[in-house]
Structure 1
Amino acid sequence: MKQVVTFGEIMMRLSPPQNLRLSQAHSLDITYGGGDANVAAALAYLGMPAAHAGCFPDNAVGHAAAQHFQHHGVDMQHCVFQGQRLGLYFLEVGASLRASRIVYDRYDSAFANLQPEWFDWDKILGNAQWLHWTGITPAISATAAQATKEAIAAARRLGLTVSADVNYRRNLWQYGQRAQDVMPELVAGCDMVVCTEGDAEDLFGIKAEAGAENSFVSMSQQLVQRFPQIKQVIATRRNTQSASHERIRGLAYVEGDYYETEDFDINPVVDRIGGGDSFISGFIYGQLTYSTVTEALTFATAASALKHTISGDINLVTAAEVEHIMAGNTTGRLLR
């Protein structure tokens, strides 16, 4: 089976233990994560070959970050080690009424300073069937945006499926180019996108039609009309009860048809970071495994729900565990 390849920045995550606030902490737990790489790692746990391309500092911290994903089954042979700094983010895990909070420290990272010519995309994608990227990657720097553009062009030339989580982060676009000027060209090369109504309006000026019965369908119809290469638009709808209680459902607009799952109720939430990445990896897996969109979407939403019960950025679950939840086994009874 050919690989799914992802491209993007991996950062070190530092969190106070036991729901402490940063002001209370005397130690920090370390793990690593990145939206694109989280998808690759989740796919590896689901049994699909996955590889990640990225750039790390050539020091012990950079190699530890790469080894973390290699340990989780991701092929990291296409990563480059150049530069001095790994991006960081600090996560305060909330509880009940107190929301989780993230503080980023990623300026001037090795990934931000990458050069597009460091990546031979024909070679990297030579054994691939799918390329996935997120809107975070071209937001980091002009060179990262150019590398993303070249990766998409190579994927199209080689006949791969291309997907993106458009994931608009306004505060990341600091290098002099606007997301609204960069993202349309990149999204035009995608077969599948994860996009909410808010992101569609912010990035592409697309608004659900006034009085539309379903705002997601209205947005998706306009998005597909603007970008004809796109065949699938997916998203999750969240009904957040508290920092510790979440309900999610999956939405999909596929070649003119609308699909929606039932709600998955998650209480208590252990860690919501990576929930969206798990949804994407689940949908990719579902598309390559099941015969219907309904099955793929249900698998994706169940995978995302399970991720909320697991600490860290990566969804450490097997396909059998997700299918167990799909079958309605949600009571959490002891498995022997």
Structure 2
Amino acid sequence: MIKGKVVTFGEVMLRLATPGYLRFNQTSEFNATFGGGEANVAVSLANYGIESNFVTRLPKNDIARSCEMDLKKFGVNTDDIVYGGERLGIYFLETGAVSRGSKVVYDRAHSAISEIEKGMIDWDKVFEGVAWFHWTGITPAISQGAADVCLEAIQKANEKGITVSCDLNYRKNLWNYGKTAGEIMPALVAGTDIVLGNEEDAEKVLGVKPKGVDVTGGRVDADAYLSVSKQIMKQYPRCKKVITTLRGSINANHNSWSGVLYDGKELFKASNTYQITDIVDRVGGGDSFMGGLVYGLLTWPGRDQKALNFAVAASCLKHTIYGDYNQVTVEDVAKLMDGDASGRVAR
């Protein structure tokens, strides 16, 4: 194990997906798995040999128990999960194809974590021996209580000198408890060292927008994000790195995929832009990028280019794997980074 643990905090849900490319009104059954932004990151890191601890609030019932067992199967520590509330959140997924995009329907109102309150989690205990804390913009969008606890965790991590990372992850369908992302997120981002987002996140959450970007036409210019990165660092002086995923959506089955990282002095561009065709599952793509990035920054301090390349390759592979979790190893990612995308059978 690499020295120092990573803690992630957020909601994990039951995922109910239509088989294949069936629409909701066509199916009579759903495939059940589990997933959620921060849990997905924890699974990625555990697969890479990082000691990972996922913190959330779960109800005491068989579905939640199955979810916890699923996380443990991948090597994620669940000892600091707190219990209470009545239900696990659910999301329904309809996978798109070609010119028809995917759809997500949330059923997470009154979930256990949405009713979490400050003081329920002993962050001093959780952060013992921890090097890194990760959160996403999904968590404070769930409820005021979840936002308060997320801020509580960030402030405690800051006190202890723990690196804090965030995926801005704007979800317009979640911000419905009377507050907007613009009202809640700035205080949380102010305590964050590493910020990940895409062009929509930057605009909707932080009010900054890149110029010269046409993602719907499948064209993304990495240089267009330099001004955004500089604006974010100016607004949030604690921020040391801003990372942007570059997804060009040719159609639902074909995306281009790359990324950039700005460290305040230099804009690093991923060495490869991958053409991902025949996508199996793009849900969790950003989380797999974040998992790869955290691994890279912890493993190769000062080698931002290598960390970025690892994150892009790891998330490229995620698009070939069904479910939220990126079930790949360091060796799998290294093989792609070295240029082997043949997909040949390993015997």
State the TM-score, normalized to the length of structure 1: 0.96
Higher alpha-carbon deviation: 188-197 or 125-134: 188-197
Higher alpha-carbon deviation: 249-258 or 317-326: 249-258
Structure 2 residue identity aligned to 1:104 = Y
2:100 paired with 1:98:
yes
Instruction: Assess if the C-alpha contact under 8 Å between 2:170 and 2:200 holds in 1.
Output: no
**Alignment-derived partner of residue 137 in structure 1:** 139
State the Cα distance separating 1:287 from its structure 2 match.
Answer: 0.6
Paired with 2:124 and 2:313, the residues of 1 have a C-alpha distance of 34
**Alignment-derived partner of residue 248 in structure 1:** 257
**Alignment-derived partner of residue 299 in structure 2:** 289
2:274 paired with 1:264:
yes
Spell out the pairing of 1:1-336 with structure 2 (5 A cutoff).
1-208=3-210, 214-261=223-270, 262-290=272-300, 291-336=302-347
Matched position secondary structure for 1:118: coil
Structure 2 residue identity aligned to 1:167 = N
State the Cα distance separating 1:200 from its structure 2 match.
Answer: 2.3
Paired with 1:288 and 1:160, the residues of 2 have a C-alpha distance of 12
State the Cα distance separating 1:213 from its structure 2 match.
Answer: 9.4
Paired with 1:230 and 1:79, the residues of 2 have a C-alpha distance of 28
Paired with 1:21 and 1:200, the residues of 2 have a C-alpha distance of 31
State the Cα distance separating 1:53 from its structure 2 match.
Answer: 0.5
Specify whether residues 243 and 325 from structure 1 end up closer, same or farther in structure 2 by C-alpha distance, changes over 3 A only. same
Paired with 2:14 and 2:344, the residues of 1 have a C-alpha distance of 34
Instruction: Assess if the C-alpha contact under 8 Å between 1:62 and 1:81 holds in 2.
Output: no
Structure 2 residue identity aligned to 1:228 = P
Instruction: Assess if the C-alpha contact under 8 Å between 1:86 and 1:106 holds in 2.
Output: yes
Runs of at least 5 residues in structure 2 that lack an aligned partner in the other structure: 213-220
Paired with 2:164 and 2:247, the residues of 1 have a C-alpha distance of 25
Give aligned-pair identity as a percent: 44
State the Cα distance separating 1:257 from its structure 2 match.
Answer: 0.7
Structure 2 residue identity aligned to 1:332 = G
State the TM-score, normalized to the length of structure 2: 0.93
Deviations 1:206-256 (Å, cap 9, x if unpaired)? 34479x993310011011011111010011111122222221011111122
Paired with 2:79 and 2:105, the residues of 1 have a C-alpha distance of 30
Instruction: Assess if the C-alpha contact under 8 Å between 1:197 and 1:215 holds in 2.
Output: no
Instruction: Assess if the C-alpha contact under 8 Å between 1:180 and 1:204 holds in 2.
Output: yes
Higher alpha-carbon deviation: 117-126 or 167-176: 167-176
Deviations 1:15-67 (Å, cap 9, x if unpaired)? 12222222221221100000011000010001111011001111111111122
Instruction: Assess if the C-alpha contact under 8 Å between 1:164 and 1:192 holds in 2.
Output: yes
Matched position secondary structure for 1:225: helix
Structure 2 residue identity aligned to 1:301 = V
Runs of 4+ in structure 1 off by over 6 angstroms are: none
Structure 1 residue identity aligned to 2:254 = H
Structure 1 residue identity aligned to 2:4 = K
**Alignment-derived partner of residue 218 in structure 2:** none
